[in-house]
């Protein structure tokens, strides 16, 4: 029996910051500690949000931190035919339907799409939604334990193909994880709410369900999640050891004292214990060092 393959799937909307480093390192540790392959997938399907040069900068920073992909990096923007085939299957089996509902029309329903559309057919391209029916999806997270979501009550019929012609995140990630043989999805807890939707899609498409582990979020000084949208400073690829040590401590792991990136990571993988990972978000240790960025030219 082979060990489950792992992956890190960043979006090229900015440079790698500390919160993204935690997700990358956590997924790498889960894979490496099990002797598994770890790959990077660039989730660049939303071209309108892509920052020029960000994908290359992310990959270069990961490499400087010793987190290079074991296989060639796959880009979602080159995989539209795979997503279109999955949508066609969902439509054929009666699970997906065209929808012209706008956000304002869904406001009376708290933004949750009901079982039937509330907008008429319009003279513009539709989105495609998945029928969730009465599905309640549960799973056991390797960090957070038992999880369950009533999709009809909490999510409603959700978009799997956008009106602008792009595949939506939920469908793309399910197709990609199956195609790349990902057996364990390790990512930030901000995506925990997406997992039941993805499990439902896996079931409807007859795809294997990976294991899941959702890592605690890194918070900034004001108690909000560090994000590229809030201009979190990028980690410094020229001096990776401070941020690597801070990321390990943030994940509840001992920070090795080795002064070589690859030796440090090798020891960290040997000593990795998922049971030490905190279950709640928190402030990174030594916050200034964790962000690990300076104004040097």
Which residues have a catalytic role annotated? Answer: 228
Query: By C-alpha distance, which of 194, 239, 234, 238 is closest to 212?
Result: 194
Q: Of 294, 192, 289, 295, which is closest to residue 248 (Cα–Cα)?
A: 289
> Could you write out the three-class secondary structure of 50-63?
CCCCHHHHHHHHHH
Six-digit token pair at 209?
Answer: 């369900």
Cβ atoms 204, 38 nearer than 8 A: no
Return d(Cα 295, Cα 263) in angstroms, integer. Answer: 28
User: How far is it, in rounded angstroms, from Cα 29 to Cα 187?
Assistant: 12
Q: What is the Cα 163 distance to its own chain's centre?
A: 22
């Amino acid at each position: 029996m082979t060990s489950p393959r792992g992956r890190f799937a960043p979006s090229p909307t900015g440079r790698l910051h500390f919160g993204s480093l935690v997700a990358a390192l956590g997924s790498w540790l889960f894979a490496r500690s099990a002797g598994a392959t770890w790959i990077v997938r660039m989730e660049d399907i939303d071209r309108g949000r892509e920052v020029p040069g960000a994908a290359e900068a992310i990959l270069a920073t990961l490499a400087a931190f010793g987190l290079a992909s074991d296989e060639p990096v796959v880009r979602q923007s080159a995989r539209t035919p795979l997503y279109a085939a999955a949508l066609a299957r969902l439509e054929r089996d009666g699970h997906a339907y065209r929808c012209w509902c706008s956000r304002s029309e869904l406001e009376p329903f708290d933004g949750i799409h009901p079982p039937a559309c509330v907008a008429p057919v319009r003279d513009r391209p539709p989105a495609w939604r998945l029928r969730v029916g009465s599905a309640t999806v549960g799973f056991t997270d390797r960090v957070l334990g038992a999880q369950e979501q009533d999709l009809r009550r909490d999510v409603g019929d959700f978009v799997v193909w956008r009106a602008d012609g792009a595949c939506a995140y939920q469908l793309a990630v399910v197709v990609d994880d199956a195609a790349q043989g990902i057996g364990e999805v390790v990512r930030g807890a901000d995506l925990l709410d997406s997992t039941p939707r993805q499990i439902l899609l896996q079931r409807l498409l007859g795809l294997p369900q990976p294991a899941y582990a959702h890592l605690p979020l890194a918070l900034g000084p004001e108690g909000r999640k560090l994000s590229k949208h809030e201009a979190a400073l990028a980690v410094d690829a020229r001096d990776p050891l401070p941020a690597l040590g801070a990321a390990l401590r943030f994940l509840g792991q001992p920070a090795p004292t080795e002064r070589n990136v690859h030796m440090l990571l090798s020891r960290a993988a040997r000593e990795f214990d998922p049971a030490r990972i905190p279950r709640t978000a928190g402030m990174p240790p030594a916050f200034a060092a964790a962000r690990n960025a300076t104004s040097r030219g």
